[in-house]
Amino acid sequence: MAQPPNQPSSPAAAADLVIRDVTVVSTRDGSLQAHQDVAISGDRIVSVGPARTDDPDGVPSGAQAVDAGGKYLVPGFNDMHAHMFPRPGGGGDPSGTFDLMLAHGITGFRQMSGSARMLRQRADRTLMPERAPRLLAIPGPVLTPFNAGTAQAAVATVRQQRDEGADFIKAAMMTSEAFYAAQAEARRLGIPILGHLPNGIDVARASGEGVRSVEHLGPGATLLACCSTEQDAVRDKLAARSGPRLPPLKFSFLEPVLDRVLAKVVVNPANMSRQPDIDILAQVTASFDQDAVGPIAQRFVADGTWQVPTLIRSRTTQLCDDPEFAAQPGLRYMAPPTLQTWRKAAAKFAKFPASSRQTFRTVYATMAHLACLLDAAGVRMLAGSDSGGAAWEVPGIALHQEFDELAKAGLPPLRILQMTTWDAADFLGATDVMGTVDAGKHADLVLLDANPVESADHLHQIAGVVRAGRYYAPADIDAIKDSIAASQSVVLRSRCNTGYYFRQEEAIMVLNSKGQLTIPAHLRAKYGLHAGDEVEVVEVGDTLQIVRTEGSESRGQRLVRRLRNTATGQDVAGMSTDQIMALLRGE
């Protein structure tokens, strides 16, 4: 006869680790099981049952025993919206980032931007360092005007990413037409699509046609518009506010250049706001009607559309110049160039008129209220930080700040715990291996000093972490933090993997004694290179790229000429981000 979930079938004779006399917290309903022994073998929990503290055979010979009397055991935390890998070719080692996440109890994360190379590395088991949180899911490059500028391009990109092994499709800057086309193709192929909703889109239709999760409550005014007494007028204004028009030029050096530009934008998107954008935000918050939340919430519940509020992201964006951010102790882990980027973003934000900054603050407060209303209406939600490029978001710490923001918004402590544990497992269809402290589950656990069901503050009181069966005691956690602080090794240069323009080919070319090389015939044919054509070798960061020299100058080629200084590694030399974005808009 099968045993109940938390009853051992026999003593865990082969256990490597036993957490003794602990209170196990049920993430299903918040109930507590006191005085439990949790036995772990390898990377799995093998038994959970009554403590055997007086039994000399309660801990198998050779096993590590952790005295956890008076402490509480929960599944490891999962950051369900993160960008933890450096830009392809952008340098940087993510190990410090992963260590910092682990030290804060984060044992799993959903990576929200990817690439074909990362998908190959994941398949080859070469993507993740040994001591890192579990990579729960990863997409290919996000859908943007670069690779999904039309409905036809969006469909082709969805097909390609599915074939390359993506777990889901992530939408970002898209038109409604391209978004609907990508949805239909993703639905046909059976791969989830999720992400940012386009400006002015029919949110109810998008939900009904299958968007697995909406990130950042929109973002912007998209979802807030559904809760406005002036919904139609706001939606029309949003639809008229198109994003940057990015020309489909097949110049390879533009990929890292524009990737760097977008990396600057995502540090704080609010800094790119113009007065018409701010006016829409003011209108949608002034006309917000909490009674209007009900119908769209009911639609989300019926369609199974999840929300990932990332309230900490909203706060660092909409209150970027808050002195509290610049004074947070966690900045000691960050590399000086990253801090400089964040301080510049805050200084730029501070230049907005006081009225605009008040509008941004109101947007944040409205977003927090909306998150609470959606939760109360039964909409499924996940905890995510959006750390990995966003201003003032320190990996690991940012998820704990998200817990605090959710608590301040009015969500109960149990719901916050569930959003980072059980709900994450349910969303991923992985409740058989994660989400609760039960036999057979992954040994990814967090030991807490206080009951997390009583207060979300108790989620911060970490007394130990278990990742894949390895126990990290408080001294180990402190040593990890001190090492990262000493090296300031957390570098968040970019989280944009745009999949820009075309899939790059790799080929080995050997220099001769004169420093010349031969471009393989299949690449010459593919890119229309002929004898006598002029090409340039351009330095981009730590790579060399071949660029065709053109005679006439179209608008796109003018963009190439004006951006060429950036290819020398001068980081957009001679042009500000505003100037580049103005050029992309055709101004």
DSSP lists the bridge partners of residue 74 as 446
Q: How many CA atoms lie within 13 A of 246 on its CB side?
A: 26
pLDDT at 501: 28
- Which of 254, 239, 288, 154 lies closest to 557, judged by CA? 254
**Spatial separation of the C-alpha atoms in residues 357 and 352, rounded to whole Å:** 6
Cβ–Cβ < 8 Å for 416, 383: yes
Confidence of residue 518 (pLDDT cuts 50, 70, 90): confident
Query: Rounded to two decimals, what is the model's pTM?
Result: 0.83
Q: Please indicate whether residue 9 or residue 290 has the higher confidence score (pLDDT).
A: 290
Residue whose tokens read 């956890």: 68
Residue-wise pLDDT for 247-278, tens only, equals: 544 444 555 555 666 677 789 999 999 999 99
**Range with the largest mean pLDDT of 84-93, 477-486, 497-506:** 477-486
Confidence grade of residue 546 (pLDDT, cut at 50, 70, 90): low
Residue 308, strand partner residues: 215
- 109/193 Cα distance (integer angstroms): 18
Determine the pLDDT at residue 215: 97
Mean pLDDT of the residues in the chain: 85
Q: Name the token pair of 532.
A: 């006598």
**Lowest mean pLDDT segment, chosen from 277-281, 387-391, 480-484, 538-542:** 538-542
Cα gap 34→51, rounded to integer Å:
9
Q: What percent of the chain has pLDDT over 90?
A: 66
Residue 357, pLDDT score: 97
Query: How are beta strands 193-195 and 32-41 bridged, if at all?
Result: unpaired
pLDDT band of residue 159 (cuts 50, 70, 90) is: very high
Q: How far apart are CA 320 and CA 318, in angstroms?
A: 6
What average pLDDT does this structure show over 185-204?
95
Name 39's bridge partners: 18, 47
C-alpha 302: how far from its chain's center? 26
What pLDDT sits at residue 9?
A: 42
Nearest CA to 495 out of 186, 142, 217 is that of 142
Long-range residue pairs from 122-127, CB within 8 A, at least 24 positions apart, any chain: 122/165, 123/165
User: For 336-387, how does the pLDDT look when each residue is reduced to its tens digit (9 = 90+)?
Assistant: 988 999 999 999 999 999 999 999 999 999 999 999 999 999 999 999 999 9
Give, in order, the Cα–Cα distances in Å from 441 to each of 43, 383, 537.
9, 21, 53
Lowest-confidence range among 18-27, 400-409, 542-551? 542-551
Given a cut of 60, is residue 513 above it in pLDDT?
Answer: no
The predicted model gives 330-334 an average pLDDT of 94
- What integer is the mean pLDDT of 194-204? 94
If you search the block for the tokens 């000691």, which residue do you land on? 332
**Residues 208-258: pLDDT tens digits?**
999 999 999 999 899 999 999 998 888 888 888 765 555 544 444 555 555
Do 235 and 329 contact (CB within 8 A), yes or no? no
Give the list of residues 6+ apart from residue 514 with CB closer than 8 angstroms, or none: none
For residue 392, with 0-12 CB atoms within 10 Å meaning exposed, 13-18 middle and 19 or more buried, which class applies? buried
Q: Is the pLDDT of residue 116 over 70?
A: yes
Using alpha carbons, select from 301, 384, 147, 214 the residue that is nearest to residue 206.
Answer: 214
Q: Would you tell me the crossing angle of helices 577-584 and 254-267 to the nearest 10 degrees? A: 120
Sheet holding 106-111, edge to edge: 77-82, 106-111, 134-137
Q: Report the pLDDT averaged over residues 443-465.
A: 98
User: What is the reported pLDDT for 582?
Assistant: 54
**Given pLDDT bands bounded at 50, 70 and 90, which one contains residue 568?**
very low
**Pairing of the two strands 134-137 and 169-171:** unpaired
Number of other residues whose CB lies within 10 A of the CB of residue 121: 15
Neighbouring residues of 463: CB distance < 8 A, sequence distance ≥ 6: 68, 71, 447, 448, 449, 474
Which residues lie below 8 Å from residue 546, measured CB to CB, with a gap of 6+?
A: 252, 519, 535, 536, 537, 538
Is cis: bond before 8, omega within 30 of 0? no
Q: What is the structure's pLDDT at 296? A: 97
> Residue 577 above 80 pLDDT?
no
Inform me whether the pLDDT recorded for 583 exceeds 60: no
Lowest mean pLDDT among 54-68, 108-122, 395-409: 54-68
Angle at 475 between CA 473 and CA 476, to 5 degrees: 65
Label residues 73-112 b or e (16+ Cβ within 10 Å = b): bbbbbbbbbbbbbbbbebebebebbbbbbbbbbbbbbbbb
Q: What is the pLDDT of residue 1?
A: 35
The runs of H, that is alpha helices, within 242-334 are: 254-267, 275-286, 293-303, 311-318, 323-326
Residues 214 and 404: their CA atoms lie apart, in Å, by 21
pLDDT for position 528: 66
64-91: average pLDDT? 86
- The reported pLDDT for the residue numbered 573 is 43
**Amino acid, res. 478:** D
Tell me what the mean pLDDT of segment 504-525 comes to: 58
